Amino acid sequence: MSLEQVIESTLTANELDHQDKGDGRFFVTLPGTKKLQTNCWLIVAEHALLIEAFVCRQPDEAHEDVYRYLLRRNAKLYGVHYTIDGTGDIYLVGRIAHHAVTEDELDRILGQVLEAADGDFNSLLELGFATAIRREWAWRESRGESLANLQPFKTLVDRED
């Protein structure tokens, strides 16, 4: 089975929403709970399969705390690691040698991407966007708007009081 066939088979078997963009490029949408979805590219390069998933935009504040969190998390991740792009946006990236790509290995890597992006999302927002979250909470409260999707950050708002 070719590498592209292994990728397609794995994505289909796991019922993951994906698009084959041609030339060995697959765009995958991983469903989450905290981060509703994580967009991930699988790219067949000359010697390896590259994995790249967007996690969140550049933090507004507490950059040092966010980067310390990411570096510590890197030590616990399998097959991928956190990085930032030129604008400071946060990604998970990885590289698997062609010969090591199996359906089980790809499933494990995609599971790690999802666990990290979804599991770390609220922590990253709390660290890097605390002021914006508090401002949004106050704005919604003042207008009687729903706070449902901000409930995970209630302790953050309570701490300021």
The Cα 21–Cα 7 span in angstroms is 13
pLDDT interval class at 158 (50, 70, 90): confident
Please report the pLDDT score of residue 147 as a whole number: 87
Beta carbons of 75 and 116 less than 8 angstroms apart: no
pLDDT interval class at 155 (50, 70, 90): confident
Please report the pLDDT score of residue 161 as a whole number: 47
What pLDDT digit, counting tens, does each position of 94-147 carry? 999 999 999 999 999 999 999 999 999 999 999 999 999 999 999 999 999 998
What domains lie within the chain, and their CATH numbers?
3-128 (3.30.1460.10), 131-161 (no CATH)
Please report the pLDDT score of residue 153 as a whole number: 87
Beta carbons of 66 and 127 less than 8 angstroms apart: yes
